[in-house]
Structure 1
Amino acid sequence: MNARFCSLGRLLPDLFYFTILFILLWCWKPAVGQSAATVPIIGQKVPDVDLGQVLRFKDGKAKLSDFQGKLLILDFWATWCKPCVMMIPRMDSLEKQFEGKVQFLPVSYQTAEQIAVFRQKLARRNGMRIQGPEVVGDTLLKLLFPHSGVPHYVWIDQEGVLRAVTGLEEITAAKIQQVLSSLSAFLPEKKDEPRLSYDPHTTPLFEFIGQQKLPAFGEVNYHALLTGYIPGMQSRTSFLKPRVKGQNWRLTYCNENLRSMYGYAYGRARRFFSDNSISIEVRDSSQFFHMGKTAREWMPQHSYCYELVVPAQLADSGFAMVQKDLRRLFPQYEARVEKRKMKVLALVRTSASDKIKSRSEQRKVSYDGFSYQAQRTTMENFLVGLNGIYMNSSPMPIADHTGYQGEIDLALDVKFSDLEDVNRGLSRYDLRLIETVDSVEILVIKDRVRMDTSAEN
């Protein structure tokens, strides 16, 4: 009965199809290897991969070998990354200084349209027009050179060998000359911590920690949690106010320093105490400032994760409870809000004409470093943004002298680090920032004075 399975007439067609399948599988294996290039290590030749969409280069396509003969530095960046944007003039200057020897190649996951809009703003604001090639919509290079934070720089020498992976500190003329001059040049390697995928808007911190095989805390309606620095966690502050029945009040700090923690807790989400409105009056300020160290060196020893969750009925006491926790957890310091006379930038109206009254139906706020768009916001929220984000490098705090109470619409296309340019944008709305002296609230942090009872004994 089994003879029918051994019949040559039946077996030959099966052998034919099996042979074809074997050949296809044998050919397929190297194709897979080509599309998933192995991550190179320093000292190895970099695979000559296609770079995807390349702006301002031949027919819009390129391979790494097209840049051979120069020191190629891949610049992984994003338009929202302030350090990345600040590095653009430096890289342009270095490329001119080492003309013909060095090529910076910007690489972004963002689309060509997003990059084009940003480049237009950059040209208008700073007069900088990028002439060289850049990779947009990247999906391959970020896998070949994995990283969890930008800016991120990959150095490939004239022969296509990976020479260094660095942060922005190493992008200097001296370091470039060092690599150009010596095959054995050593640069400190930037090793990113694996980025943890955590969204504080959807997952409480204690629950996330439990998912990471750390101690679980069970289901609670109230908890306070403090940890040290968590590698890979993005530095951020998240505040959730109960808006529906059953929702808790929650404040979360992720890898934040004490300046930020005190500043937000005492600002109570109504304002932000930025560096120009915080007075640190302590003997040892290394807990609050970098003191000559890079952020990467300083943060692991001086950053914390903290969370407070309370039920809705205690929401009005939430920030007071955070302040008490800070006093308990850091008893060596005391903080309070004081009024002091100082120089400020006062936002004033220059006419009685109401050019800021909101006519929008939906509430919306967006900011990208060169523009600010707001619909149905308040003057208070606008000032919080100016002090905390857009103009947080101003040496003077910004005070509201408009007296305006209603909702407003604003659209500013300005360079926020340039006061004259900010005033140009504000003039559309008959608003202006003027320097004056005013009595304003600042946050003062001091060493706590302790009574020494040993002398009495």
Structure 2
Amino acid sequence: MKYIILNILLLTVAWQFSYAQQKKVGISKPLLVGKLLPKVRSMPILNFNTKSVNLQDWNDKVVVLEFFDTYCATCIEGMPALAKVQQERGDKLVVLLVTWQSKEVIEKFYSTNAFLKEKNVKLPTIVGDTLLRQYFPHKGVPHTVFLYKGKVQAITYPDYVKKQFVDELYNNGQIHVPQKDDFKSEKVFELDDSENGIIGSVRMTTYQEGLSDKPGLTIVKDSITGLYRSYFNNVGILNAYKALDALINKPTFLLTDKRIVWKVKDPDKYYYREGSGGQQFWLTKYGICYERKSYVVKDLAEQVKIVMNDLNRFLGLRVYWDQLERDCLVIQKKASSNAARATIENTQKMESLSVLIFFMDYSGNFLPIVDESGYKDAIDIGSYNNIAELNEQLQSYGLELVEGKRTMQMLIVEEVQ
């Protein structure tokens, strides 16, 4: 499969914009877990043996409603896993994709999406939905609802559409998974600030389902107590450090696994590896929450260092940057330039080489990249399978990628005694 990575990234960003263009979703009649599903009208569906369906037809099966739209790359990437579970548990399960987009848009989506065509995935899809998203309002997709025996059993994440949870619900009539609520009001740690003489406090916990997700550092002042509160909620450990570091060190490259030296027993508990069971599933196991309260707060850079020191102390870590020699790919000027430019279909204009480097880093398929070319202009790049094919396109700009060794910034994550 060719690396059409630019389109994937554009989809990831674009869904947020598209979602804002929809009619405002009302939340006046949401169905909560434990509520009975009202009798609903038949709804138009694609990729099914009828043109419309009624949810009441499947009261004897577990029904999963998976809300998505075609701009959501995460939704699309998760569809093969949904199709696999449907195949494995077809006697107990019905998976239905649900979208506000029209029949025409979705038909075109299935006929042109290279990823789904390669995976041979075409799930039954309710189109032009206006009713179900009122019963199950959400700010972002994917958004997953479990129904069984005509009742709402869970509102959660697609990570939990797995054999074990389908069987649990089908056999026991209930399911135990984290609940997703895009409209919940923010909850905070319940610390008693009324005690006489309180100076401050620091608290860290594992993932807390009752807390609103706050992946980045937030600093606010309580107008009543005068205490400053620095906190983040429900974030992976590596992502917590990365978010903090980005506040004081402007990133000049994408921090991928190839830029990290792990001096730990089990890296898997510090960051999520793609394909290891679902990011939300991982986060509920390894995510952390942090809160510091004090009457004094430093400037941002100093406050970030204080928070990092707290994390190091609580987690038994030392996280720092170092200059190390590593294998890499070097962009350099080609000794003899081939001025003839091959005709490449479906190219993407990139304003600079840094854009190309970003997308190559994002794909995770290449060594770290160092640019020594001095090239400043825009380039047009199409899809490619390997470095040789990319070099065929770069040569017309007098450039090439070669393997080498260079000293570069590496993030060290070290467990300490």
Which range, TM-score by smaller chain?
A: 0.5 to 0.7
Aligned to 1:186: 174
How many percent of aligned residue pairs carry the same amino acid? 17
**Measured at CA, do residues 113 and 338 of structure 1 come closer, stay the same or move farther in structure 2, by a change above 3 Å?**
farther
**Measured at CA, do residues 57 and 448 of structure 1 come closer, stay the same or move farther in structure 2, by a change above 3 Å?**
closer
Give 1:56-455 correspondences, 5 Å limit. Answer: 56=47, 61-65=52-56, 67=58, 70-79=61-70, 81=72, 83-99=74-90, 101-110=92-101, 115=106, 118-120=109-111, 122-123=113-114, 127-147=118-138, 150-157=141-148, 159-180=149-170, 182=171, 184-195=172-183, 231-233=211-213, 235=215, 256-263=235-242, 265=245, 268-281=250-263, 288-289=270-271, 294-299=282-287, 301-302=288-289, 324-325=305-306, 329-330=310-311, 332=313, 334-346=318-330, 352-353=337-338, 373-376=348-351, 378-387=352-361, 390-391=362-363, 393-394=364-365, 397-401=367-371, 403-410=373-380, 412=382, 420=385, 427-430=392-395, 437-446=405-414
1:105 offset after TM fit, Å? 0.6
**Measured at CA, do residues 131 and 192 of structure 1 come closer, stay the same or move farther in structure 2, by a change above 3 Å?**
closer
Q: List gaps (5 residues or longer) in structure 2.
A: 1-26, 194-201, 219-230
Relative contact order: is structure 1 or structure 2 higher (C-alpha 8 Å, sep ≥ 6)? 2
Question: What is the DSSP-based 3-state SS (H/G/I as helix, E as strand, rest coil) of the residue aligned with 2:408?
Answer: strand
Question: What is the DSSP-based 3-state SS (H/G/I as helix, E as strand, rest coil) of the residue aligned with 1:400?
Answer: strand
- Contact 2:36–2:152 (CA<8 Å) still a contact in 1? yes
Question: What is the DSSP-based 3-state SS (H/G/I as helix, E as strand, rest coil) of the residue aligned with 2:378?
Answer: strand
1:188 offset after TM fit, Å? 0.9
- Contact 1:148–1:192 (CA<8 Å) still a contact in 2? no
CA distance in 1, matches of 2:292, 2:391: 38
**Measured at CA, do residues 437 and 270 of structure 1 come closer, stay the same or move farther in structure 2, by a change above 3 Å?**
closer
**Measured at CA, do residues 375 and 434 of structure 1 come closer, stay the same or move farther in structure 2, by a change above 3 Å?**
closer
CA distance in 2, matches of 1:197, 1:122: 37
Highest CA radius of gyration, 1 or 2? 1
- Contact 2:65–2:97 (CA<8 Å) still a contact in 1? yes
Question: What is the DSSP-based 3-state SS (H/G/I as helix, E as strand, rest coil) of the residue aligned with 2:96?
Answer: strand
1:234 offset after TM fit, Å? 5.2
Question: What is the DSSP-based 3-state SS (H/G/I as helix, E as strand, rest coil) of the residue aligned with 1:235?
Answer: strand
1:442 offset after TM fit, Å? 0.7
Question: What is the DSSP-based 3-state SS (H/G/I as helix, E as strand, rest coil) of the residue aligned with 1:103?
Answer: strand
Number of equivalent positions: 343
Letter in 2 for 1:170: Y
1:349 offset after TM fit, Å? 7.2
Deviations 1:260-300 (A, max 9, x none): 3544626523223233212243689798457997303433x
Question: What is the DSSP-based 3-state SS (H/G/I as helix, E as strand, rest coil) of the residue aligned with 2:150?
Answer: coil
Aligned to 1:39: 31
1:75 offset after TM fit, Å? 1.4
CA distance in 1, matches of 2:333, 2:185: 45
Q: CA RMSD in A?
A: 5.1
